[in-house]
Amino acid sequence: MNDPRLFLAIDNCFAAKRWTEPDQWMALTRRLGLQLVETSADTECDPLYMGAAYMRRWAAAVRAASHTHGVRVANLYSGHGTYSTLGLAHTDNHVRLRFRDRWLKPMIRAAASLQAGVGFFCHAFSQSVLADRDRYRRMLGRLVEDLADVGRYAAEHLERPISVEQMYTPHQPPWTIGGAVELLQQVCAAGAALYVTVDTGHAHGQQLHLRPTAETIDAVLDGELEAGQVWLGHPDAYRVVHGHRQGSRSRGDAREQLTHLIEQHPYLYADPVDSDPYAWLTTLGPWSPIIHLQQTDNSCSSHAPFTGQHNGGGIIHPLPLMRALADGYRNPAPAAMPPRCGEIFLTIEVFAGTAAHPQRLVDQLVESVQYWRSAIPVDGIPLSQALANAERR
């Protein structure tokens, strides 16, 4: 598969606490010029918050609204509720299994009832886990096992693959390109297919967590840089620097200890390429059935709309995105990966602040859709044609 079909959708997170009923956000989705929507758990469809009976009523209401407005749910996605906890990597096994069996699996069943896909991010590692290399490896292995369990469950219920979202800090893997490839390979080796959701704004944090160079280490030890100004990774590294400053460690001993800590905890550091959203798209775009679109200048994950105001300083645009995807499909696949995607849902994901003016928000969404429709005028367009459209724009 070298020429996947592309679809344009929008995440209904913009509708949270505003247009909360399926009939409302589906009608608005159609007004924006779209026929596909991704439903966020934050927009009143979280199985832990709402319960099984509500979820069945919600799915029925979605099917009715879909028939009325000609809008289809493409995917169900996790929201801020599951993002704000350790979730599937919780240190308490009861909580971990509750997330796996009473959140992820009910979401998969709900998606199956709508013939939709599923994407999510619902895990994080605490600082105590990150600081302990052996414990981190055990916890990561357990996460792989749980993701494989969920992947096998999804294969029994869904026609499309599930995907876990890429993040941008060490405590929320996958956050590096190499780590994301390895995670997919490990789950595949465990007998299940897992894919990744690439978010165009999720490459900004890696540049704050780069592996320290020898020059950086020397500058910190010599007092030319404060330890708090650079990422040293392991908490013991900052104690080593403090000890050297207080005279309890020689410069040579401190340098050796810092180098050892960095070498022993490679999962705490990114490489410069990990901060390039287009490198993510080239390497992992073919294994990203959902790509979240947000405008950003790569200084933060702002989830800004694609309007004239934001596009001028933003780095996310149709032409380089299509080129990165096309390059990814031409490149050889890493070993032991699941099959490449034959369909990709490019999904606009705009966050609206609590004080955002509803009509102004709608106007921004209309402009954002129009911006991407220039490359994807119809859903199901081959990537090669979308690239040609973007080149003519």
CATH code of the domain covering residue 34 = 3.20.20.150
**Whether residue 96 sits in one domain with residue 152:** yes
Residue holding tokens 């009509």? 359
**Whether residue 382 sits in one domain with residue 293:** yes
Residue 336 and residue 184 in contact, taking contact as beta carbons nearer than 8 Å: no
Q: CB-hemisphere CA count at 13 Å for 27? A: 9
**Whether residue 196 sits in one domain with residue 227:** no
**Whether residue 146 sits in one domain with residue 11:** yes
First to last CA, the chain: 26
Tokens read off for 149: 């369990």
CA distance 108 to 157: 7
In three-state form (DSSP H/G/I as H, E/B as E, the rest C), the secondary structure along 137-202 is HHHHHHHHHHHHHHHHHHHHHCCCCCEEECCCCCCCCCCCHHHHHHHHHHHHHCCCCCEEEEECCC
Would the pTM count as exceeding 0.85?
Answer: yes
User: Which pLDDT score, from 0 to 100, does residue 1 have?
Assistant: 62
Which of 247, 266, 285 terminates a domain? The answer is 266
Dmax over CA atoms of the chain, in Å, equals 74
Q: Which residues have C-beta within 8 Å of that of residue 8, sequence separation ≥ 6? A: 34, 36, 345, 346, 347, 348, 369, 372, 373, 376, 379
**Whether residue 356 sits in one domain with residue 226:** no
The domain tally of the chain equals 2
**Whether residue 51 sits in one domain with residue 143:** yes
**Whether residue 335 sits in one domain with residue 229:** no
CA distance 19 to 42: 12
- Provide the 8-state DSSP code for 106: H
Give the SS3 label for residue 114: coil
**Whether residue 276 sits in one domain with residue 161:** yes
**Whether residue 205 sits in one domain with residue 225:** no
Residue 49 and residue 10 in contact, taking contact as beta carbons nearer than 8 Å: no
Indicate the helix (H) or strand (E) that contains 251.
helix 251-264
Range of 221's domain?
A: 214-266
Q: How many CB atoms are located within 10 Å of the residue 224 CB? A: 11
**Whether residue 106 sits in one domain with residue 227:** no
Which of 266, 284, 299 terminates a domain? The answer is 266
pLDDT, block means (10 residues), the chain with 393 residues? 93 96 98 98 95 97 98 97 93 96 97 98 97 98 98 97 97 98 98 98 97 95 91 96 90 95 97 98 98 97 96 98 98 96 98 91 97 98 98 91
**Whether residue 176 sits in one domain with residue 139:** yes
**Whether residue 302 sits in one domain with residue 165:** yes
User: Which pLDDT score, from 0 to 100, does residue 393 have?
Assistant: 83
Burial-class residue 335 by CB neighbours within 10 Å (0-12, 13-18, 19+).
Answer: exposed
